[in-house]
Amino acid sequence: MNINLHIDRLILDGVNIHHSQRHLLHKSVESELTRLFTEGGVPQHLVRGGASPHVPASPIHMVGGSDPVRLGRQIARSVYGGIGK
């Protein structure tokens, strides 16, 4: 099964990630979402495809400073949880 997920915009209020670390954040979100879809599957309502103008992601409470890899994983888990709703 192929999954195409396009995130047009990701709004992070109050997050201070240096421009040079944005690629780490992006890769971390991408790899964690890949892992979550591989292990957890695709929500039933999206098996045949679909689109959503927004995803109701839950708030993220940053732990451990502004580590872009850790933050990316948290973002991915929040997005994945919102996709399942």
CA gap 53, 39 in Å, rounded: 25
Q: Mind listing the pLDDT tens digit for each residue in 43-65?
A: 887 888 878 888 888 888 776 66
List Cα–Cα distances, 21 to 9, 42, 48, 60, 66, in angstroms.
17, 29, 35, 19, 10
User: Can you give the pLDDT of all 85 residues of the chain as single tens digits?
Assistant: 677 888 888 888 778 888 899 899 999 999 999 999 999 988 887 888 878 888 888 888 776 667 899 999 999 999 999 987 6
Answer yes or no: are the C-beta atoms of 17 and 71 closer than 8 Å: yes
pTM (predicted TM-score) = 0.84
* Domain residue extents for the chain: 19-44+53-83
